Amino acid sequence: MNKYLFPIYAVAIGVMLVVIFKQKKSSYTKILLSFSGAFLLALTLFDLLPEVYEHLEGKQTGLFIMSGILIQIILEFFSKGAEHGHVHIHKHETAFPWLLFISLCIHSFLEGFPIHQHNDMVYGVLIHKIPIAALLTMYLLQSHFTKTQIIGFLVVFASMTPLGTVISNNVELVSGYVYYINAIVIGIFFHISTIILFESSEGHKFNLSKLVSILLGVGIAYLI
């Protein structure tokens, strides 16, 4: 049951962090992003990637991974990078951000599929969604959207990953293609996590706290 609920918990935790820190962007979000990027990348390399290569032909696997990277690049054209912490909502904007909403939902839906067979991946998704949900909540609350729109946005966003997991577990038509979909998701995870890690050092300056968070992310992922 937790594999369905953990992504929802992550969004709830992200919202609570914003409430606790009074909606102000602080260093905790950057450290969380660094940790989540390292943790997600390491889990993908340690658990998901070997499993996919075991069931699919090597070059074919690489093709689907590259497809995932390209899909994420296309999604980011509409979301402007919200999947890795770049949320751009203007304070005076009143029109609902449908492109951001749809692209984030597609991303969240796809990342639910690997949880089907890789229970450890649910922890990677959990850690990944917490800082993203916090930043998303922060900017939504600073906008002029109604409370109903904000709550609806967050509820649907939180439910998309469990929906992907439910479909991968229970829809027989999908089960025959699960490794192909997982390979696509690997590409998505690669793109997201590496962008987070590349951007974790502002101006390429050494930052001990971020380095420690990255090392912790890799180390914990290895021990799971």
Tokens 């450890």 -> residue:
120
Q: Which of 10-14, 146-150, 218-222 has the lowest mean pLDDT?
A: 146-150
Amino acid at 180: Y
- Average of pLDDT values for 101-113? 92
Which of 2-16, 54-68, 94-108, 115-129 is the least confident region?
115-129
- In the predicted model, is pLDDT for residue 83 greater than 80? no
Answer yes or no: are the C-beta atoms of 157 and 105 closer than 8 Å: yes
pLDDT of 134 > 60? The answer is yes
DSSP state of 176: T
Residue 181 is predicted with a pLDDT of 93
Q: How confident is the model at residue 31 (pLDDT cuts 50, 70, 90)?
A: confident
Residue 98, token pair as written in the block? 């449908």
Mean pLDDT of 117-130: 83
For residue 202, pLDDT beyond 60: no
Burial of 53 (0-12, 13-18, 19+ CB in 10 A): middle
* The two structure tokens encoding residue 118: 């890789």
Residue found by looking up tokens 């949320």 in the block: 87
Percent of the chain with pLDDT over 70: 86
Contacts of 12 (CB under 8 A, 6+ apart): 158
Mean pLDDT of 75-96: 71
Residue 65, pLDDT above cutoff 90 = yes
Looking up tokens 């609570």 gives 16
- 62-95 burial, b at 16+ Cβ within 10 Å, e below that, comes to eebbeebbebbeebbebbeebbbbebebeeeeee
Residue among 55, 18, 62 nearest 179 (CA): 55
Placement of tokens 């660094």 in the chain: 34
Coil, strand or helix at 31: helix
Q: Taking the mean position of all CA atoms in its chain, how far away is CA 189?
A: 8
Compute the chain's Rg from CA coordinates.
17
Question: How distant, in Å, are the alpha carbons of 98, 118, 124, 218 from that of 28?
Answer: 28, 29, 18, 18
Count of CB atoms within 10 A of residue 167's CB? Answer: 17
> Of 175 and 40, which is predicted with more confidence?
40
Classify 14 in phi/psi space as left (phi over 0), alpha (psi -120 to 50) or beta: alpha
